[in-house]
């Protein structure tokens, strides 16, 4: 299904050799949309001195008080080495601190610092307002709901 809003691409070797189906076009459109929103959201978060990964960790710690690094990794889908670097940067920015677990000193936990606890609600509110304005200027409420349903169906059906 070609749509007048589709980007016009010159044929690529892969497109000529292998069918460019609607499923492949759907995947491409999902990627392009995600990248466009990511760029705009990244620019907005940069005003707070944050990246999207830092924002996601800040959000999780705001919701959970403190978390083990492995749990943060599970929640934000980051591998250990990337997460360690990210947490170290957030510690350098005085957003988080590392502490020992109350009953097992071998276990480290990450929690928000005073600065992190102060800015988290402000950043979360501003981020959500930004995303609401960005998406709402492009999609109607009905379109948003339909897109959410379709994307959730993909998420649930693909293990």
β-pairing, 108-112 with 96-100? Answer: antiparallel
SS3 100: strand
The domain limits of the chain are 19-157
> Which residue, among 3, 6, 4, has the nearest Cα to 28 in the 3D structure?
6
- So what's the pLDDT on residue 14? 79
CA distance 107 to 68: 8
pLDDT tens, 71-127?
998 888 766 678 889 999 999 999 999 998 777 778 889 999 999 999 999 999 999
- Model confidence at 67: pLDDT above 70: yes
Is-contact 57 86, C-beta < 8 A?
Answer: yes
Q: Which CATH number is 19-157's, of 1.10.10.10, 1.10.1040.10, 2.60.40.420, 3.50.50.60?
A: 1.10.10.10
Is-contact 110 69, C-beta < 8 A?
Answer: yes
- Model confidence at 65: pLDDT above 80: yes
The whole model's pTM is what? 0.81
Is-contact 52 46, C-beta < 8 A?
Answer: no
């Amino acid at each position: 299904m070609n749509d007048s809003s589709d980007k016009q691409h010159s044929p690529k070797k892969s497109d000529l050799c292998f069918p460019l189906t609607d499923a492949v076009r759907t995947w491409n459109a999902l990627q392009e949309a995600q990248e466009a929103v990511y760029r705009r959201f990244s620019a907005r978060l940069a005003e707070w001195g944050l990246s999207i990964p830092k924002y996601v960790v800040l959000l999780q710690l705001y919701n959970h008080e403190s978390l083990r690094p492995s749990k943060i990794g599970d929640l934000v889908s980051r591998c250990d080495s990337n997460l360690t670097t990210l947490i170290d940067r957030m510690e350098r920015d005085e957003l988080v601190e590392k502490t020992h677990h109350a009953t097992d000193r071998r276990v480290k936990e990450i929690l928000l610092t005073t600065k992190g606890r102060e800015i988290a609600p402000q950043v979360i509110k501003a981020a959500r307002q930004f995303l609401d304005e960005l998406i709402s200027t492009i999609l109607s409420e009905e379109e948003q709901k339909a897109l959410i349903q379709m994307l959730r169906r993909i998420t649930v059906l693909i293990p």
